[in-house]
Amino acid sequence: MPIIKPISDLRNKSNQISELANNSNEPIFITKNGEGDLVVMSMSHYSKLQLKIDLLSKLSAAQNQKAEGDKGRTLKQVMTDIRNSINAKR
């Protein structure tokens, strides 16, 4: 169930809004004059959201490459690259 608060709560109860955002790990929808105006969320929730967006973007790019005929790499090639990367960091 979405969390909806009036903009006056953001001004008058900012500490409670902050606690709610951090404890629920969900966005809080802020209304102004009964209409949606802002979304407030914790930094951790925002970071997770950004990671999901980045992952979905990469998956979409990979699907487009495959659709355009890119054959990609074999498992053996991928494993070799991973091993080389690990060994280079040592």
What are the residue boundaries of the structural domains of the chain, listed by start? 3-41, 45-89
Region of 31 (left: φ > 0; alpha: ψ -120 to 50; beta: rest) is: beta
CATH class belonging to 3-41:
alpha beta
What does the pLDDT read at residue 4? 97
Whole-model pTM: value is 0.70
Query: At residue 31, what are phi and psi to the nearest 5 degrees?
Result: -105, 150
What percent of the chain is predicted at pLDDT more than 70? 100
Mean pLDDT of 1-20: 96
